Amino acid sequence: MGSELWQLDATDLARLIRAGRASATEATRACLDRLAAVNPAINAVVQEMPEEALAEAAAADAAQARGEALGPLHGVPVTIKVNVDQRGHATTNGVAAFQDKIAAEDSPVVANLRAAGAIIIGRTNAPAFSMRLMTDNAVHGRTLNPRDPAITPGGSSGGAGAAVAAGIGPIAHGNDIGGSVRIPAYCCGVVGLRTGFGRVAAFSTQGMVGRPLSSQIMSTQGPLARSVRDLRLALAVMARGDARDTRWADAPLVGPPPKRPIRVALVPEVPGGSTHPAQAEAVRQAGRHLAAAGYVVEEALPPSIETAVELWHVLGSTELFPALWPLMERLGDPDGQAAMRTWMELSPPRGLAEFLAALAERDLLLQRWMAFLLDTPLVVLPTLAGLPPPQRLDVTLDGQRAVLESIRAAFVAPLLGLPGCAVPVGHHGRLRPGVQIMAGRFREDLCLDAAEVIEAAEGPILPIDPVAA
């Protein structure tokens, strides 16, 4: 079954390799063959490394033959996003001028995947500076959604979402500051986990400059996959600590049992704008799945979602954009420049006093959310308020306004530093509507438990062949 191994999820693939029924080399070759077959149509993996991957797979097989201890992802092919450091490869972050930024050391999340035995087969695409809902740039080109090439695969981990959906490796690495794991998972019809603040160690090993405060408190790493159990497996691997990241916390992966029955707040209509009926119905359908499994489900609003969205804009536009815009203006691609320009026009930078006030208000809002989650540990809402938007919608002012109205549903989790798990629910033509499940700090386990219930009711996610452009 060597040629069919690319169809399996990571959990089954690791089990077969461990049992000697498949080899790391066979699994890697199968995924590389799938990459060669489908990647030209979608441009999800933009740095391929077949020789390196096969050499690592051969070493993994030799280690297994010697009887060495095997990691939980031994021999499993994975992909890495181009905005984190991977030894011997350029951290382009979608920018042509960064093609010579060759990393001498792995970032912690990459090192953790390697230590678990994973085989890296390629690096996935991102927009310039990873700050866009579209995945397109001047150095690597545009990534197409395998479900529909006319719509975005999401951003900024769009290459990761498209790769997993098309069967190029069962697990893809991504990161999320405003939805960049959850949105590509939604757009491509797979599952994705935004980890909470402090869960996964992450920093650049190239030591250029420190990250802005808003990035420090909102940006996290996480996996995309085709099964929730793979998200759980990848989380356990990625969450291994690194003392150099002062934000990493040695928190248990499974928290104390919540009071039973577990209460769930459904938010079908996201405050602050319209919500597409398919997305609202996905939330209600997810609620029905959870209720059938014994959860107590009701439509209820957690504290001040509209305030959370506005606070994200205040922090992001005041600190991130002023730092990024000069670089984007000088080094970015025309569409990336247009998208950032329209975003800044719709949400201009504020003054220092308003920025500091927003940080203080965020702290109070997080306290209110944590109090809400004590009684109602889970919140289910749309991943995006709208359907996945067309490619390049964000380059015009009206188009960007529509994008930001839709993305408001994804801003809450990063603003508060909370985990969120995206899972498909239902169908809308070739697309999959989808929900995100939020929980309290370090309670990714509760998100994953609920996601597994929804997944069991909805059926397995299988890799798809890309729809022709």
* Domain positions in the chain: 2-458
pLDDT at residue 225, rounded to an integer: 99
Give the closest residue to 223 by CA, choosing from 78, 17, 21, 14: 78
> Higher model confidence: residue 32 or residue 320?
32
Above 90 in pLDDT, residue 466? Answer: yes
Give the C-alpha separation, 369 to 361, whole Å: 12
- In the chain, what percentage of residues exceed pLDDT 90? 96
pLDDT at residue 210, rounded to an integer: 80
pLDDT at residue 25, rounded to an integer: 98
Give the C-alpha separation, 65 to 52, whole Å: 20
* Cα R_g (the chain), whole angstroms: 20
Q: Long-range contacts: 349-352, Cβ < 8 Å, 24+? A: 349/317, 349/318, 349/321, 349/322, 350/314, 350/317, 350/318, 351/318
Give the closest residue to 324 by CA, choosing from 343, 296, 301, 307: 343
In this structure, what DSSP letter does residue 331 have? H
What separation in angstroms does the CA of 160 have from each of 125, 142, 157? Answer: 7, 13, 5
Catalytic residue among 23, 107, 130, 180: 180
What separation in angstroms does the CA of 219 have from each of 180, 196, 212, 267, 334? Answer: 9, 9, 10, 24, 25
Give the C-alpha separation, 446 to 136, whole Å: 34
Catalytic residue among 81, 107, 214, 227: 81
In this predicted model, what pLDDT tens digit does every residue of 223-262 receive, in sequence order? 999 999 999 999 999 999 999 999 999 999 999 999 999 9
**Order of strands, edge to edge, in the sheet holding 45-48?**
45-48, 119-124, 77-81, 171-176, 220-225, 191-194, 420-424, 434-438, 378-382, 263-266, 296-299
Mean pLDDT within 339-362: 96
What separation in angstroms does the CA of 182 have from each of 54, 96, 206, 401? Answer: 30, 26, 27, 20
Residues ≥6 apart with Cβ < 8 Å to 89: 47, 49, 102, 103, 123
Mean pLDDT within 12-38: 98
- Whether the CB-CB separation of 99 and 138 falls below 8 Å is answered with no
pLDDT at residue 3, rounded to an integer: 84
> Measured on CA atoms in the order 299, 304, 307, 308, is the torsion positive or negative?
negative
- In the chain, what percentage of residues exceed pLDDT 70? 99
Half-sphere exposure of 345 (CA within 13 A, CB side): 14
Catalytic residue among 107, 156, 157, 214: 156
pLDDT at residue 1, rounded to an integer: 61
3-state secondary structure of 202: coil
Mean pLDDT within 10-22: 98
In this predicted model, what pLDDT tens digit does every residue of 200-228 receive, in sequence order? 999 888 866 788 899 999 999 999 999 99
In this predicted model, what pLDDT tens digit does every residue of 378-399 receive, in sequence order? 999 999 999 999 999 999 999 9
20: pLDDT confidence band, cut at 50, 70 and 90? very high
pLDDT at residue 321, rounded to an integer: 87
Classify the phi-psi angles of 392: left when phi > 0, otherwise alpha if psi is within -120 to 50, otherwise beta. Answer: left
pLDDT at residue 15, rounded to an integer: 98
The reply to whether 81 belongs to the active site is yes
The reply to whether 180 belongs to the active site is yes
In this predicted model, what pLDDT tens digit does every residue of 106-143 receive, in sequence order? 999 999 999 999 999 999 999 999 999 999 999 999 99
**2-458 classified as CATH 3.90.1300.10:** yes
Instruction: Give the CA dihedral 442, 411, 160, 136, nearest 10 degrees.
Output: -160
Identify residue 256 by its one-letter amino acid code. Answer: P
Give the closest residue to 120 by CA, choosing from 67, 47, 17, 43: 47
pLDDT at residue 206, rounded to an integer: 85
Residue 374 tokens, joined: 């004590």
Can you give the pTM of this predicted structure?
0.98
Give the C-alpha separation, 229 to 225, whole Å: 9
Above 70 in pLDDT, residue 2? Answer: no
In this predicted model, what pLDDT tens digit does every residue of 153-190 receive, in sequence order? 999 999 999 999 999 999 999 999 999 999 999 999 99
Residue 448 tokens, joined: 């994953």
What separation in angstroms does the CA of 62 have from each of 14, 24, 28, 70, 99? Answer: 16, 10, 14, 11, 34
Output the DSSP codes for 386-419.
Answer: SPPPBTTGGGSHHHHHHHHHHHHHHHHHHHHT--
Look over the chain and give the mean of its residue pLDDT values, rounded to a whole number: 97
pLDDT at residue 208, rounded to an integer: 63
Give the C-alpha separation, 442 to 10, whole Å: 24
